[in-house]
Amino acid sequence: MTLDPQDWSEIRALGHRMLDDMIDWVAEVRARPVWGHMPAELRQELRAPLPTHGTPLPKLYEDFQRLILPYSSANEHPAMMGWVNGGGNPAGYLAELLAGIFSVNCGGRDHAAIEVERQVIAWAARMVGMPVNAGGLLVTGSSMANMIAVLVARRAALGETVRRHGLQSAPLVAYAQAGAHGCIPRALDMAGLGTDALHSIPVGPDHRMDVSALRDAIAQDRAAGRIPFLVVGTAGTVDTGAVDNLAAIADIAAGAKIWFHVDGAFGATAALSPRFRPLLAGIERADSLAFDFHKWAQVPYDAGCILVRDQALQLGTFAQSLAYLTQEQRGLAGNPPWPRDLGPDLSRGFRALKIWMTLRAYGTEGLAAVVDNGCDLARYLAARIGDEPWLELLAPVTLNIVCFRVCRGVGDLDALNRNLVADLQESGVAAPSTTTIDGKLAIRAALFNHRTTHADIDALLDGIRKLVHSAV
């Protein structure tokens, strides 16, 4: 029994149609609202019994077009300004198609996709100024990349016995700024250290880590018999886009002989822009760096990356000797070290192709222009907010994130702004998200999509103005 057809012509015709339709779907993105709520009856249709009989592919495609395609997460849309989401790009879309059909397993062995991934890792290191022979791995996203960094830092602090004996109550302590992403405490939790092992360092009014508080915390923990083992600097905080003083943190980590990790989930991409690279000074000194190509670099999901300066330590954290996965000097089982020894996954898809094709199609100059565009739009939005007395800016704009709110109105301003954001999303005009800044509910516009223009910023503010006036 084969799953292949006798005659490929129908598959070929359907495949061509799918590609044409999806290209139209992207090309015509501006004609659609940014987001639409999926009706309950369509959700219900997706809840079907496990299929026992086959269904013809044209019917499946029809279901995709009717049940799935109109209800996207809005990433592709220029009016998507919520959370931290990249918009995808044409080279990346086509690479996904190729990788899907190619369907290789990038856990290891001797084939070209492994070489493509190695090249992408070397380019990633070059992007931020880390050594090009640094270790690294493509992963789902920065949550996994940060998790890997914690495990490598734990291994560096406790030696290889930690892999056999576990923590043995070693009182390890890590540090990150108060606005660090939630995946950092979760990584400590998953690494068996517990979230209490993360000591939160306060930030100044600029939302950057107070580095003298970091120095004091390390000294106090040492005096109390704890083992400081990891400092996480954030390059682009999720709430406001603030960038920690990475050079100062690198100095402190080096002086205290502690692992220096940078969470640059989106901010590391700013290293491509000559305008914004100076903000990241010190990133090149990181022992490890987590970041995503699927955010500001616009590679289709998912495309996370971990870089580790010393590949031997990364191997020392994950490598296993297994008879059924022996790495040979020749044959298909050759080409060590295999990616499966650099992280927790054995089977892995060909994530590298969409990154390789995106970087080659647009070059670092093209992606730097995307970074500059997002930062310019953020400054434009902040300036327009400054001109409107009914709006207030809630945090300084460093990169491409703007936190603000409607500051005039009757009743609970938090509720007013929260409802405004939901109304905006449901109106289809724009999709910012929310967060809390200094106790105030903020409208958060994160300008990651490469299709967003000044007109989209104007539409966002016009949409807010109309909603506010209709509520009065």
Interface positions with ligand PLP (CB under 6 A):
84, 141-143, 181, 183, 234, 236, 238, 263, 265-266, 292, 304
At its nearest, how many Å lie between ligand PLP and the CB of residue 82?
11
- State which residue, 429 or 431, has the beta carbon closest to ligand PLP: 431
- State which residue, 148 or 250, has the beta carbon closest to ligand PLP: 148
C-beta atoms surrounding 359 within 10 Å: 23
**Closest residue to bound ligand PLP by CB:** 141
Are residues 449 and 74 in contact, defined by beta-carbon separation less than 8 angstroms?
A: no
Query: H helices then E strands: how many in the chain?
Result: 14, 11
- State which residue, 105 or 433, has the beta carbon closest to ligand PLP: 433
d(CA 298, CA 89) in angstroms, rounded, equals 6
Buried b (16+ CB within 10 A) or exposed e, 217-252: bbeebeeeebebbbbbbbbbbbbbbbbbbbebbbbb
How far from chain centre, in Å, is Cα 409?
A: 35
d(CA 290, CA 181) in angstroms, rounded, equals 12
Residue whose structure tokens are 């639409």: 36
Q: Is 215 exposed, middle or buried (0-12, 13-18, 19+ CB in 10 A)?
A: middle
- State which residue, 176 or 464, has the beta carbon closest to ligand PLP: 176
- State which residue, 86 or 135, has the beta carbon closest to ligand PLP: 86
- State which residue, 84 or 153, has the beta carbon closest to ligand PLP: 84
- Where are any strands of DSSP class E within 202-328? 227-234, 259-263, 288-292, 304-308
At its nearest, how many Å lie between ligand PLP and the CB of residue 145?
8
- State which residue, 183 or 286, has the beta carbon closest to ligand PLP: 183
At its nearest, how many Å lie between ligand PLP and the CB of residue 413?
26
Are residues 325 and 108 in contact, defined by beta-carbon separation less than 8 angstroms?
A: yes
C-beta atoms surrounding 7 within 10 Å: 8
211-223 helix and 246-256 helix, angle to the nearest 10 degrees: 20
What secondary structure letter does DSSP report for 11? H
Are residues 184 and 198 in contact, defined by beta-carbon separation less than 8 angstroms?
A: yes
- State which residue, 248 or 399, has the beta carbon closest to ligand PLP: 399
At its nearest, how many Å lie between ligand PLP and the CB of residue 344?
15
- State which residue, 237 or 373, has the beta carbon closest to ligand PLP: 237
Buried b (16+ CB within 10 A) or exposed e, 133-155: ebbbbbbbbbbbbbbbbbbbbbb
- State which residue, 109 or 295, has the beta carbon closest to ligand PLP: 295
> How many residues appear in the chain?
472
Are residues 447 and 402 in contact, defined by beta-carbon separation less than 8 angstroms?
A: yes
At its nearest, how many Å lie between ligand PLP and the CB of residue 267?
7
